[in-house]
């Protein structure tokens, strides 16, 4: 039996090859490689898709977070609340600015921070909150937006895993002052290299992100502030523009696979991921929970089926942060790290593959 991987980027390229090759050749022939018409068009398309007022393409999702924080004026002396159960980049971006990440716990069922867990983490110096839409489902945005508004706190969304998701019809990236997207190759909309984008509500903030990505410059060799080199290249933008019209179909295929996992794993003893019913879950990951996680993972591996643990350590327990954080107890984050298991999910996963994964999980001996 053939192996089942976490994703299949080669199948995607095989399907879109004619269009992608054409887009790449178009850029190569244009002689225009950084900050050009492809990037501008991608920005307009992402703004239209999310309903955000502005979009600024940058070099990665990590840079999207960093430049959003910088554009918001976050720096030394400020605290920024982030969920502990996320990819480390969410916290790193805060550290880059000189501000301090403050770790909030999550809700065990949704894997996301809630208004209550974020509020419990607020400090007098908290100036911003980064909410993460983990695994492809939006956090409870009305309550979180209301909390931030009532405290005068800047709301930033980490949408790296949630492009195409929404809460009550409002897209991920359209709730906060900034929405930070990653187009890392494994994300639901992936480039063929690193790439990212910031959606922005305020025109002044958007202008600041534009300057920050380009050495603090609006006009050639006029540098108003000290910035960075974080521009999106035209090849990645052109490739992303081929894939963007396919995103809804890709996300729908992920949702179909998720529904099949649900049916196939019903009654198997593993905890299935909860949908809150307030909008589209785009299943960047299909993540089950089980006290027997490691045994299940081993059984899958023996059958040639990939699986992954996102994340085995919450960020506050990572060596990079543990010493500075001290004795902080975030029980739901710890419990998630000890029990989560993400199963293969991608637009090219076959029904028979889902069934095979379910059969192995059902048969795994306790």
Ligand X SMILES: *Cc1c(COP(=O)(O)O)cnc(C)c1O
Instruction: Report the interface residues with ligand X, using CB under 6 A.
Output: 60-62, 86-87, 89-90, 132, 158, 160-161, 182, 184, 194, 196
One-character DSSP codes across 166-208 = EETTEETTSSSSEEEEE--TTSSS--SS--EEEEESSHHHHHH
Smaller CB separation from ligand X, 114 or 182? 182
Q: How far apart are CA 180 and CA 119, in angstroms?
A: 22
Minimum CB distance to ligand X smaller for 157 or for 353: 157
3-state secondary structure of 62: helix
For residue 304, the minimal CB distance to ligand X (Å) is 26
Q: For ligand X, give the closer residue by CB, 30 or 186.
A: 186
Question: For residue 152, what are the contacts with CB-CB under 8 A and spacing of at least 6?
Answer: none
Phi, psi of 54 (to 5 degrees): -135, 155
| Residue 343 or 364 with smaller CB distance to ligand X | 343
If we measure between CA atoms, which residue out of 245, 255, 303, 246 comes closest to residue 279? 255
Least distance between ligand X and beta carbon 309 (Å): 14
**Shortest Cβ 183–ligand X spacing (Å):** 7
Structure tokens that stand for 323 in this block: 């010493």
- Angle at which helix 203-213 crosses helix 61-71, to 10 degrees, equals 120
Nearest residue (CB) to ligand X, 90 versus 199: 90
Distances from the Cα of 57 to the Cαs of 155, 210, 214, 216, in angstroms?
Answer: 19, 8, 11, 15
Q: How far is the CB of 266 from ligand X (least distance, A)?
A: 28
Residue number with the smallest Cβ distance to ligand X: 61
> What are 154's strand-pairing partners?
128
Question: What token pair was written down for 147?
Answer: 């909390």
Pick between residue 38 and residue 158 the one whose CB is nearest to ligand X: 158
Taking Cα atoms as reference points, which of 186, 237, 192, 134 lies closest to residue 347? 186
Residue (68 or 177) nearer to ligand X, CB: 68
């Amino acid at each position: 039996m053939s192996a089942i991987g976490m994703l299949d980027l080669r199948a995607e390229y095989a399907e879109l090859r004619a269009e992608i090759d054409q887009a790449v050749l178009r850029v190569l022939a244009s002689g225009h490689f950084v900050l050009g018409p492809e990037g501008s068009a991608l920005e307009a398309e992402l703004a239209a898709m999310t309903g955000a007022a502005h979009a600024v393409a940058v070099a990665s999702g990590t840079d999207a977070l960093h430049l959003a924080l910088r554009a918001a004026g976050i720096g030394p002396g400020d605290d920024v609340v982030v969920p502990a159960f996320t990819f480390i980049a969410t916290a790193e971006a805060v550290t880059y600015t000189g501000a301090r990440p403050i770790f909030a716990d999550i809700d065990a069922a949704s894997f996301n921070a809630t208004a209550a867990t974020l509020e419990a983490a607020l400090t007098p110096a908290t100036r911003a909150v980064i909410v993460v839409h983990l695994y492809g489902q939006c956090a409870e945005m009305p309550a979180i937006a209301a909390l931030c508004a009532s405290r005068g706190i800047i709301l930033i969304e980490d949408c790296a895993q949630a492009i195409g998701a929404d809460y009550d019809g409002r897209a991920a990236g359209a709730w906060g002052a900034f929405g930070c997207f990653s187009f890392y190759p494994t994300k639901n909309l992936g480039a063929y290299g690193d790439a990212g984008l910031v959606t922005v509500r305020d025109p002044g903030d958007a202008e600041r992100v534009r300057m920050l990505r380009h050495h603090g410059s609006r006009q050639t060799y006029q540098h108003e502030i000290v910035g960075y080199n974080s521009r999106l290249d035209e090849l990645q933008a052109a490739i992303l523009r081929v894939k963007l019209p396919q995103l809804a179909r890709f996300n729908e295929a992920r949702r179909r696979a998720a529904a099949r996992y649900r049916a196939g794993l019903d009654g198997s003893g593993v905890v299935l991921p909860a949908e809150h019913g307030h909008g589209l879950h785009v299943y960047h990951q299909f993540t089950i929970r089980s006290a027997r996680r490691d045994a299940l993972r081993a059984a899958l591996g023996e059958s040639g089926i990939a699986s992954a643990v996102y994340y085995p350590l919450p960020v506050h327990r990572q060596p990079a942060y543990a010493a500075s954080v001290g004795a902080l107890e975030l029980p739901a984050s710890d419990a998630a790290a000890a029990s989560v298991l993400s199963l293969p999910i991608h637009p090219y996963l076959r029904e028979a593959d889902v069934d095979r994964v379910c059969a192995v999980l059902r048969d795994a001996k306790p």
